[in-house]
Structure 1
Amino acid sequence: MTMRWLAVVLGVLLTGAALPAQAGPESATHALIGYLHASFGNGSGYVRMADVPDEWDIIDLAFGEPTSPTSGDIRFNRCPAAECPEVESDADFISAIRAKQAAGKKVLISIGGANGQVQLTTTAARDTFVSSVGAIIDKYGLDGLDVDFEGHSLYLDAGDTDFKNPTTPVIVNLISALKTLKAKYGDKFVLTMAPETFFVQVGYQFYGGSNDNRAGSYLPVIDAVRDFLTVLHVQDYNSGPVMGLDNQYHTMGGADFHIAMTDMVKAGFPVANTGRTFPGLRDDQIGFGLPAAVSAGNGYTAPAAVHEALDCLVKGQNCGGYSLRGGPSPGFRGLMTWSINWDHYYDWEFRNSHAPYLDSLP
């Protein structure tokens, strides 16, 4: 139980007021979220689960990948010793996960990534997805699932223009799979998502269509699971310029981009050429993602600029002339990074810069 929640409980006992409901599985009020290269090495170095610093509140195991794009059969393979000489045994890995969870951390399996295209084109693939993801969660005793579908995993068929009632099989089957997993694991199930801006905010300007039928294609999924979505942390990196609610194009790498992109998620926005409006999410469901360092991805943002963005988004201050359409978000959930490994490689700049800032928030 967090100290903040304990204070609420004590207040209830003293006043006799009703106990407010918590939103989603309990975790850090303002979380530091990071991906851990658990199945591969890429030059940033292997980090054992036990060596992940305590400041990381949600740890995403990267990645669970399908045996083929349309199989729905997700496998999570630990990094082989030939590639990651420091890799720990499964027993030590699981023991370290338990220790993290005992300390209040959440450990998730992240599905997809840049190389893990997942297209649930059939109900059979959907069912296999549910069973195979469930098997990974059960084997390692994980807290839930991160959806990191990239590339051509999600798209909209011609004529599928109502995000409230999607008809494209890869969308419909993913929604069904996530609802089934939620039903299986109940209130403790943690669900996060890490879409690229193209699949979310670009939906303001383009939704499906002839230009690229992937534009905005996460919107029906986000909307369908909003009641149990723990955190949406859009990747504010590897992105082209994106039009914000001020109808201006915003470019990654500075405070302005994070402010404008995150405000869209909070305020909601009209979905292009559909006559429908995507409703904004709760404060506590919203974060955004950053590269941990210049080597980790395009769109690295200096810590001072990140804090400038957070001052605006959380407190309504230091907005640089941008007007928040969704208002301040004091319950803002946190920052995600790709990745814990890259942060370790660069002497923990991300952790050292941002964990104290998040901890300083009410």
Structure 2
Amino acid sequence: MERTRRHVRPPARGVRARLLAVLAATALAVLPGLTATATAAPAVDADLVRNGGFEAGLDGWTCSAGSGAAVTTPVRTGTSALRATPSGGDNARCTQSVTVKPDAQYTLTGHVRGTYTYLGVTGTGTSDGYDWTQSAADWKRLSTTFRTGPTTTRVTLYAHGWYGTPAYHVDDVTLVGPAVDPGQPPVKPTGLRTDSVGPHNATVAWDPVPGATGYTVQVDGARAWTGSATSAYLAGLSPGKQYRVEVAATNDAGTSPLSAALLVTTPLGEGDPLPPKALVGYLHASFANGSGYTRMADVPNSWDVIHLAFGEPTSVTSGDIRFTRCPVTECPNVESDAEFKAAIKAKQAQGKKVLISIGGQNGQVQLNSTGARDAFVTSVSKIIDEYGLDGLDIDFEGHSLSLNANDTDFKNPTTPVIVNLIQAVKTLKAAYGPRFMLTMAPETFFVQLGYQYYGTGRWGGQDPRAGAYLPVIHALRNDLTLLHVQDYNSGSIMGLDNQYHSMGGADFHIAMTDMLLTGFPVAGDASNVFPALRPEQVAIGMPASTNAGNGHVSGTEVNKALDCLTKGTGCGTYRTHGVWPALRGLMSWSINWDRHNNTDFSRNFDTWRR
């Protein structure tokens, strides 16, 4: 803002003349051998913070784990301020990246309310600074001054609270120092194209724009995505509809014109292969245990999807999958191959779906070469063709999927076992067509744990499997019929409320499923969000009895979880981010254990879905 001009009486004419003479003589008094030159004006200080008063919401700011929001009370000035809420595992850190001059001095200032509230800067190239308050019941000014290094051009401003403390507030953040010429806005993006298109979503990409620091994608004129990547996943589309997609590039100087429009038409799809409320179960087809062997013909009609457990590899890295039926020595009542195949056809005639499940607890599969990938496609195809099956279930456990240390972007995986699996499944899908069903049964460790950790280095460098299913799910989401995460045999997992949830009640299933239906930032990175799945793609994985696995819950708790997620009723302490009447249903381990337990699990679900 301009300073107010103050009127000053001019000096008398005689005095003014003498002043002018002195000034002229001073200007001509140049030392011998030197030439008079104009002195360069010092750089003008300016406030470099974007939206420091939060009047435009969180525009320009990113808060960890969705912890921040713009609120209208309390505020210090204007109409808005920042409120950020820490949790037991997150300090609610809100940041903004700012362009600065090298070797220059800046002062960061802001006003805060709350306990253990911090305001600071990182990336200065010299000594980063911060200020903090242990307790501020009313607005308190925090400030720190720093000097940038000789090559520093960007710094990161931050505010945060402390773990487990109440919400803190921030308003009127400024960074005052030499202004930086922002240059010119970037040119409009080119090369806008589709990478994939499904009935409900699409992925678009474009060529990088020199000088751009971010991009905005519009769908039919409305903002649909912002970020720094050169591709965007667009969800919530409708089947059989044409959309107009455009992208603009941004930097500190402004926003480019919109790119040439891309018309994206979503396919109609092939119809829904499953009932609106479906029950999925695993049939012990290649082994027996304490639950006993169940013949295919004796599978109760409650089960809509039957996974044959399991197809297993001839060796961990071969990719060669074999399905061997339970031998008569282990399963005295096993049917013949001809009877087994006839029973599959009979189930399919009733509208049931029968899939081969690959992996399981003992069937570790690592497709770490293209040869293993191709052997996987060939051998799985033989199984599907021999038994006339409807598709494939991926039940990779153990160390079948582990991320390389530098594989940090789930949208662009580079780990061979993950890339080869994605390619193999896409090849099978292309070969069998749109009616080919694809399901996945990862453990919570491989999916929801990606909310906190993603790959090596995210969990003390101890385990590269945390979240390792996320790239597979994301790459195949247009082909995915069902994701039924195993909500059992799990430790405590953090939900979107940043609280840990443990097995044994409805809240655990509600919290884990809410993450899939809401989406979540991967490893706390708000710019790297795993998009929500459609509710009809999601079933909740539960053990059928106390014998089937840790985490069994009673039918009452099962119904509480289903009612909360589909109707918004019967919810416990966890508050969901929505209500999803189209949630597909339940998956259980297993059909055999349910029969062993007087079919209590399936009968309870039948009663609920009526």
Residues 1:107 and 2:354 are matched in the alignment? yes
Alpha-carbon distance in 2 for matches of 1:148, 1:160: 22
Q: In structure 1, how many angstroms separate the alpha carbons of the residues matched to 2:269 and 2:427?
A: 22
Q: Write the letter of the residue equivalent to 2:433.
A: G
User: What corresponds to 1:121 in structure 2?
Assistant: 368
Residue 288 (structure 1) aligns with: 540
Q: How far off its partner does 1:355 sit?
A: 1.9
* Contact 2:302-2:603 within 8 A present in 1 as well: no
Which residue of structure 2 aligns with residue 41 of structure 1? Answer: 288
Contact 1:24 1:228 in 2 (8 A): no
In the alignment, what sits opposite 1:141? 388
**Structure 1 position 114, deviation (Å):** 0.1
Q: CA deviation at 1:352?
A: 1.1
Structure 1: how far apart are the matches of 2:557 and 2:402?
33
The yes-or-no answer on 1:252 pairing with 2:499 is: no
- The aligned runs of 1:322-361 (5 Å cut-off) are 322-325=574-577, 327-358=578-609, 360=610
8 Å contact from structure 1 (residues 24, 187) kept in 2? no
1:34-81 deviations in whole A, cap 9, x for unaligned?
000000001111100000011100000000000000000000000000
Hey, what's the Cα distance between the residues in 2 that align with 1:108 and 1:67?
A: 20
Q: TM-score of the superposition, structure 2-length normalised?
A: 0.55
1:179-222 Cα offsets, whole Å, 9 max, x none, are 00100111110000000000000000010021210000000000
Q: Structure 1 residues 216, 296: CA separation in 2 closer, same or farther (over 3 Å shift)?
A: same
2:566 corresponds to which residue? 314
Instruction: Flag as ranges the 4+ runs of structure 1 deviating above 3 A.
Output: 20-25
Match of 1:297 in 2: 549
Question: Which residue in 1 is equivalent to 2:157?
Answer: none
Q: Distance in 2 between matches of 1:248 and 1:273?
A: 14
Residues 238-258 of structure 1 show CA distances to partners (whole Å, capped at 9, x for unaligned) of 000000000000001210000
Deviation at 1:83, TM superposition (A): 0.1
Post-superposition offset of 1:23: 7.1
Q: Deviations over 1:118-168 (max 9, x none)?
A: 000000000000010010000000000000000000010011000000000
Q: Secondary structure at the match of 2:473?
A: helix
Give runs of aligned pairs for residues 167-246 of structure 1, distance below 5 A. Answer: 167-209=414-456, 210-246=461-497
- In 1: Cα distance, 2:416 partner to 2:576 partner: 36
Aligned partners of 2:595, 2:403: CA distance in 1, in Å? 38
Mapping 1:48-63, distance limit 5 Å: 48-63=295-310
1:82-104 deviation digits (Å, cap 9, x = unpaired): 00000000000000000000100
Q: Please list every run of 5 or more consecutive structure 1 residues that lacks an aligned counterpart in the other structure.
A: 1-19
Q: Matches of 2:606 and 2:522 in 1, distance apart?
A: 35
RMSD after superposition: 1.2
Q: What SS is found at the alignment partner of 2:392?
A: strand
Deviation (angstroms), 1:288: 1.1
Matched, 1:162 2:414: no
**Do the aligned residues in 2 keep the contact of 1:25 with 1:189 (CA within 8 Å)?**
no
Distance between the aligned counterparts of 1:238 and 1:24, measured in 2? 34
CA deviation after TM superposition for structure 1 residue 322, in Å: 2.2
C-alpha separation between the residues in 2 aligned to 1:205 and 1:131? 37
Larger radius of gyration: 2
How many Å separate the matches in 2 of 1:21 and 1:172? Answer: 28
For the 8 Å contact 2:270–2:435, the answer to whether it is kept is: no
Query: Residue 262 of structure 1 aligns with which residue?
Result: 513
Give the C-alpha shift of residue 318 in structure 1. Answer: 1.4
Label 1:110 to 1:22 Cα distance change in 2 as closer, same or farther (>3 A): same
Distance 1:272 1:24, change over 3 A: farther
After TM superposition, give the deviation of residue 24 of structure 1 in Å.
5.9
Task: For 1:273 and 1:323, locate their aligned partners in 2 and report how far apart those are by CA, in whole Å.
Answer: 20
SS of the counterpart of 2:433? helix
Residue-by-residue CA offset, 1:284-325 (whole Å, 9 max, x unaligned) = 001111111001100001110010010111111111242212
- Following superposition, the deviation at residue 28 of structure 1 comes to 1.5
Q: Distance in 2 between matches of 1:25 and 1:328?
A: 21
TM-score, normalized by length of structure 1?
A: 0.92
More helix by share: 1
Matched to 2:444, the amino acid is T
Match of 2:325 among 69, 78, 99: 78
1:322 partner letter:
Y
Give the match for residue 64 of structure 1.
Answer: 311
**Larger proportion of strand:** 2
| Partner SS, residue 195 of structure 1 | coil
What CA distance in whole angstroms lies between the structure 1 residues aligned with 2:312 and 2:387? Answer: 16
Q: Distance in 2 between matches of 1:273 and 1:266?
A: 17
Give the Å deviation of 1:356: 2.0
CA distance in 2, matches of 1:164, 1:175: 12
